[in-house]
Amino acid sequence: MQMRFFSLTLLFVFLAPLCCVLGQETGSKSFCSSRTTAAYHSPECGFIWVVRDPNRISDIHIDHSPEYHTYSRWVISGMEYVLAYRDIDNDPANIALDLYRSSGARYSQIGSLTIGAPISKVQALALVPKQGEQLVIFSQCGQLHCIDIVQVRDDQAKELFEYAGTTIVVRTGRLPSIVATSKSAGLTEQFTWSEVHQQFVKHTEKTLSPSNDVAKPH
């Protein structure tokens, strides 16, 4: 499993005039037919590259090249963060995510993550004991479902886990876990957080039989 590395250099960016906000997500024919990056990823237009982030917002703009096409705002452990999405090499199916700590009209970049696939869901879930909530990012990577788990705290962001499988199921509760099923390998793997190793480790592994039902994806 290859980890994606974060750049922890703080980058201070100030709020730009609202007139510069990417497009007007009105769902109008002219907006959707413009085929801009904002249109490609807007839920108003019905393209397959919609960023399915439930906390998306349109009232901010952060200067960046290439431009961000989608923003969302999250409150984790009482701190406000902004997720800013951009395309890699002008490919709407290849997405990168920059994370910012928000303080009024000032944004401090605390990390970057290459997703490389359309975003299918974003959640804040408590998967690490005594560490509050983590950002959990699901994406559709080809024929597989992918997951990235990111710990954000103050001015730091750290990727804790990434994986891909035929299905990915996240279980919360007394013993949070990630269950990944691979049809090609014939395995179901369960990962849980290890306080000793300070990372997610494989807790159980089960070989699939032809009669095994595959769990629904996330």
In order of start, what are the domains of the chain with their CATH numbers?
11-207 (2.40.128.460)
* Bridge partners for 100 per DSSP: 82, 109
Spatial CB neighbours of 104, under 8 Å, sequence gap ≥ 6: none
Query: Which among 81, 153, 152, 111 has a CA at the least distance from the CA of 11?
Result: 111
- pLDDT in the model for residue 19: 30
pLDDT digits (tens, 9 = 90+) for 112-125: 999 988 999 999 99
Angle made by CA atoms 201, 9, 156, in degrees to the nearest 5: 40
Helix (H) or strand (E) holding 33: helix 29-33
pLDDT, average across residues 182-201: 94
